[in-house]
Structure 1
Amino acid sequence: MAVFVIREEGDSLQPPHDIGIVIEGVKVLNRLPSVAHACAMLFGLIYVLNLSYPGELEHTFDALQKLFMEIEPKKMTRKVLSLSVKL
């Protein structure tokens, strides 16, 4: 699963042509207004489709969910709690 941003090569100051979400190699959403919106939609899709976080990004997704989106913040793992204290 991933958030993608398509823009002209070498033209990072212009707005992107497309922002969307890919899950298991299939584009499920596109033409989203921002990367932040795409991240929020990705969390919604993970919840609605009852998907597991990718193994190598499990702690990253958990930290985003608990710290920044404040979804179930009282159920932090030790690693996320440690990061929270450092922030």
Structure 2
Amino acid sequence: MSRVGDLKEIHDIHTKRSTVLQALPLYLREDVSGFFRICTDESDEPELDNVEVGPLTVISDHDTTPVHYHPVRISVIIESNALVSFPRLGDAFLVIFGLIYALHLSYPKALTNTFDFTQKILLGLESGKLSTRLQTLKNDLMM
């Protein structure tokens, strides 16, 4: 396969990951308003007060799409501080999950099902009893 073909395939993978990470909480009927933060690269300091954990997507002023596949950067926010930045949502989400899991922090209350799904089904960690909603999603995916 050519280098261009490899890049298109990688782009498709990251696009799919971003779509799934944006859609999963919506499918599970969870409120993402306090988790996913967005600001433009031209704006002043983003409002991060009282943000326990989450991604901050920095977009260009010209980006008007609801799902941002090509952000300027995505920063990981813990306790109102930007710790590290990544080019893609999937990378930032994985670091957020890893920090929450390793530091024994509580999942964001509004996204408990999303993080439980990631932990128990996608990563196979601590496979305990699933809520009805997660069990249904797992059964639908395994068919």
* TM-score normalised over the length of structure 1: 0.77
Instruction: Tell me which stretches of 4 or more aligned residues in structure 1 moved more than 4 Å.
Output: none
Give the conservation status (yes or no) of the 8 Å contact 1:66–1:76: no
Unaligned runs of 5+ in 2: 1-52
- Aligned match of 1:78: 131
Unaligned runs of 5+ in 1: none
| CA-atom RMSD in angstroms | 2.2
Query: What are the equivalent positions in structure 2 for 1:2-17 lying under 5 Å apart?
Result: 2-11=54-63, 15-17=70-72
Give the conservation status (yes or no) of the 8 Å contact 2:71–2:87: no
* TM-score normalised over the length of structure 2: 0.51
- Aligned match of 1:67: 121
Instruction: Name the larger-Rg structure.
Output: 2
**2:72 pairs with 1:20:** no
- Percent identity, please: 31
Alignment partner of 1:75: what SS?
coil
Give the conservation status (yes or no) of the 8 Å contact 1:20–1:29: yes
Count of aligned pairs between the two proteins: 85
